[in-house]
Structure formats: structure tokens, C-alpha cells
Amino acid sequence: MENADYKNKTVLVLGMGKSGYSAARVLLSLGCQVFLNESKDLTQDKNAQELQAKGVLIHSGELALDWFDHYDFDVVVKSPGISYENQMVKKALEQNISIVTEPEIGFSICRAKVIGITGSNGKTTTTTLVTDMLNNGLQKGKAYAVGNIGVPVCDVVQNVTEEDVLVTELSSFQLMGMPSIKPDIAAIIDIYPTHLDYHKTFDNYVNAKLSITSNQSAEQFLLVNEDQPDIFKIEEDNSQASLIPISLEGKSESAISIKSGFLYYQNEPVIKIDEIKLPGQHNLQNISFAVAIVKLMGIGNEAIQKTLTSFTGVKHRLQYVDEIDGRKVYNDSKATNIEAALVAINSFAKPEVLIAGGLDRGFEFDELVPALKEHVNKIVLYGETKALMAKAAKQAGITDISVVDTLEQAVPLAFSKSVPGEVILFSPAAASWDQFKSFEERGDCFIKYVKSLVVN
């Protein structure tokens, strides 16, 4: 999938995370003059020193706004997490400089087939499933899981061949800076209002997701969620690709159906439902998308079955942690929004002890009330959202509500309040950035706190 030509350009890279470092290295290989600006001090950073030795001009510790007065940049490569309100980004936009994200650079030299997967929830699980199924079933080549899953596209593109496949998890932040993306197969698993603090409006968020299909042609495929009729109509109206509907509600157009205890693709039984190891209705949606994707790639049922009878979940996504003195503990740190938390809370019957909380983005948590009422009888809250979540818990009729400052305090308290037979679920329903650098760090800390519990 070869897109825009970035050879021999003058490029400004904003941010020295994994994606910025990886993009800078590929840009150097394309003969670009590369500049890199990072607000954190990089004087002791080994990767920065490596790039400088190769000719990258680095300015760290503050914004390099004066660069725009001295250099003519052809393109700016922005870290996905950097806001469009950032002064460097605003300056670039004022000068009509193209703003892209790291995958755009990687795809410009990519020889492999590309699968693009996006959605509000389920991206990482679906990407992982597809990659595993392909590697179980491909006769030639290898599948690589890249993108928002944690491996920059630029890390692998220079080593792949036409027989390989990039299975790319793409966030809305990344897609906003990918004007040339044209995946062979694209999937939009679902769309719910999230990241609105970044996108400002739901329409902006939907449009960012639709970028995944905006350049597709009729020979390419777009998998869409037919159970979201309003979104489905928007996708149908804005894509030239061949649409593959997916429905768990038995819609007749769906490529996937559940009949007589089997998951079917078209009219072919693929696997018995009770042989699938991954629990939950939400995961059945992810599995449906994954099966349809790999079937379009010509993968046989044996390879699909091998994955689905062994795969038990992705870390931090309703991850089983341990059973301690009769309490099963689950880590769902990836639940950075209300919709994801609802999926986790609804996955278990009462009694459930819920730990939740995190960054306050100004949302109320009223949408959680029905699920809290049905599934949760004790709740421990921490972080910036603790008061707002306590309000929702009271509305749900929960009488055992505890409020603490940190996750480290919340874990032993939740355990002390639980009894054998109860599930302890950590599903924050909020982003991690009030106390942690990422949902991964938050989940790792949760696991550490669980493992340190002393059972008397």
C-alpha cells in the first residue's frame, strides 16, 4: 500500500515518543531533512543522541516556535496525543503545512497488504485475533500487529514484503493525520461518543473514524457494524468500498451469524460457540469482525479455530488476574470511557465489587446507573471522578460506597469489603492521566497491588 511521496522533504517531527522516534528514522532513510521538537528535556536521551548523530536537528525542553520563521517545512509529523490546540501545530496550520501522524509516513513506503482496524472499543482485541489467525493460516508471508497497539508502523515497514500483512490498529487521533490511507480491508467495529474533549464534537469524531475508508475503492472492503443503524448509514454513504455488514442481532445482510450453537461465516459453520475461550458478548463482536476479515484473506477454519480455542484475552482488557481467597479479580484498565466500562460491568452477574475512577473530562456517569443497579453491590472510587461516580452509584441504590484518593488505597479496601464468591472488577470508566501515564501503567499497578494483597 504505497501512498504519498515523502522523499527528500523538510520535515518537522513533534514529540519524541515511540512514534516520533520511529518516524524520524524512516524519514532519514527517505533522504529528508528532519527537525524534532519535544517539550521535555532530551539532553540525556539515548534515542535523541542517536538521531542527532544521524543529522536530525533537535530542540527540546520548550517549543521551537522560531523554527517556522527560519525553515520552510513541507510536512509536520505530529504525535497522536498532541492536541491541535498546541502552539506548534497552530503555527503549522497557519502556514498551511500538512499535518500527518506516524502511520502515514510508514504506509508511504509499505509493500505489504494492509488491514486497518478502528472503532471506539475492541480494536486491540480484534487486531490481536486477526494477526494470530493469519499467522496460523498464511501459506506465505507473516502478519504484523502494528499501530495503536504499541508497535509503530515505521518500525516494521522497511522489512516487510508483498507477501506480508500489516494488521493495523488505528485510533481517531492517528486517522486525523492520515490523508493517504487506503487499506485493502478496513473495519469500523463500533462508534460511541468518546474522546470528545479532543475532537470537540461527535461529528468530528465520526469523521475521523471515516478517514479509514475515504480513499478506498470498490475492489477493497469495509466491515461495518449493522447493529448501529445510524452509524451504518453514515458509513454506507461515505465509502466507495465493498461493504461487509456484521451483526449479532441476526440481521439478514450480516456476513456472520450465530445458529444452532455455531458461529457461521456466510453459510459455513466455522466454530462451536462453546469452544471459544474468550468470554463476553462484546468479545463475540470482536471475534465476528476478526473471522470475517481473515475469511476475506482466504484463511481456513482450522487456523481460526486454533486461535479461538486458545486465546483468553489481551492484557488490561477484562483480563483475569487471579483468584484470591475465593474472589476472582479482573483488570479492565483499558476501560477509559463509560461504554467500555459498561461492557465489563455487564459481563458478570451480581455480586460484584467495582473499583473505578480516573481523569475528570467533565462527564456525568448517569449512563452507568442501570448496569450498576443490576450488577454491583459495593463500589470503591478514587481519582478526579470519584465524586461524580459516587453520585451515579447513589442513583443506582448502592449503599456500600467507599471513596479514597488513589488506586493503591482502593485495591486493599475493595478486597477487605469483598467476600468469597464475589468478583472484584477494576473498570475505571475514565482515562488514566490524573495519576498514571497510560492505561497500561495503571493496569500494571493494579496487578501489582492485587499481587501484594496479604490474605489472613
Annotated binding site for ATP: 119-125
Q: What is the largest CA-CA distance in the chain?
A: 68
Cβ 257 vs Cβ 264: under 8 Å: yes
Count the neighbouring beta carbons within 10 Å of the beta carbon of residue 421: 9
Amino acid at 169: E
Please compute Rg for the chain using Cα positions: 23
Contacts of 201 (CB under 8 A, 6+ apart): none
Burial of 328 (0-12, 13-18, 19+ CB in 10 A): middle
Q: 320, 330 in Cβ contact below 8 A?
A: yes
Is residue 397 within 8 A of residue 406, CB to CB? The reply is: no
Tell me 269's DSSP state.
E
Alpha-carbon distance of 27 to 4, in angstroms, equals 13
Cα–Cα distance between 181 and 108 in angstroms, integer? 9
Annotated binding site: 119-125
Residue 267 phi/psi, 5° resolution? -110, 20
CA 452 – CA 241 distance, rounded (Å): 51
Angstrom distance (rounded) from CA 301 to CA 299: 7
CB 186 within 8 A of CB 242: no
The three-class DSSP label of residue 129 is helix
Kind and range of the H or E run holding 352: strand 352-356
DSSP 381-411: E-STTHHHHHHHHHHTT--EEEE-S-HHHHH
Cβ pair 123, 148 in contact under 8 A: yes
What are 37's strand-pairing partners?
14, 59
SS3 content of the chain, % helix, strand, coil (to 5): 35, 20, 45
